[in-house]
Structure 1
C-alpha cells in the first residue's frame, strides 16, 4: 500500500509526474478521437468530398 501512496505522491507532487499525467491525457484523448473518427468514416462511407463544378 505504501508503493501506491508513493506513486500518487510522485504523480501529483513532482513536475515530472504532472508532465506524465498531462502527456498521458493528451495521448489518451488522441487515441480515442482517432478511433471515433475511424468508426465514423466506416459508418458513413458515401459522404465523400464532392467536386465543385466551375462556371465560366
Structure 2
C-alpha cells in the first residue's frame, strides 16, 4: 500500500509512472515493428505495384498544378 501511495501521490512516483509507460510502449512498438518487417519483406517496385501518391521517378512533368506559370 505504501508503494501505491508513493507511485500516485508524489511527483517522482508520477514521473516514474509516465516514464515507465513510455518505455513499455517503446518496447512494444519495437517488437511489433520487427514482426511486421519479418512478415512483409521489402522488395523493389515492379510493374504491377501501385503507389498511393502515384509518383514516378522518371516523370518529366515538374508542374505543381495547371497554374504554375502564374506563380513565377
Same fold (TM over 0.5): yes
Counterpart of 1:14 in structure 2 is 10
> Which TM-score applies when normalising by structure 2?
0.61
Q: Which has the larger radius of gyration?
A: 2
Q: Which runs of 5 or more residues in structure 2 are unaligned?
A: 46-55, 61-72
Q: Return the structure number with greater relative CO, CA threshold 8 A, min gap 6.
A: 1
Return the structure number with greater helix share.
1
> Which TM-score applies when normalising by structure 1?
0.77
Task: Flag as ranges the 4+ runs of structure 1 deviating above 3 A.
Answer: 47-50
Q: Which runs of 5 or more residues in structure 1 are unaligned?
A: none
What displacement does 1:31 show? 0.4
Which string of whole-angstrom CA distances, capped at 9 and with x for unpartnered residues, describes residues 1-54 of structure 1? xxxx11111000000000000000000000000000000000111x4464x431
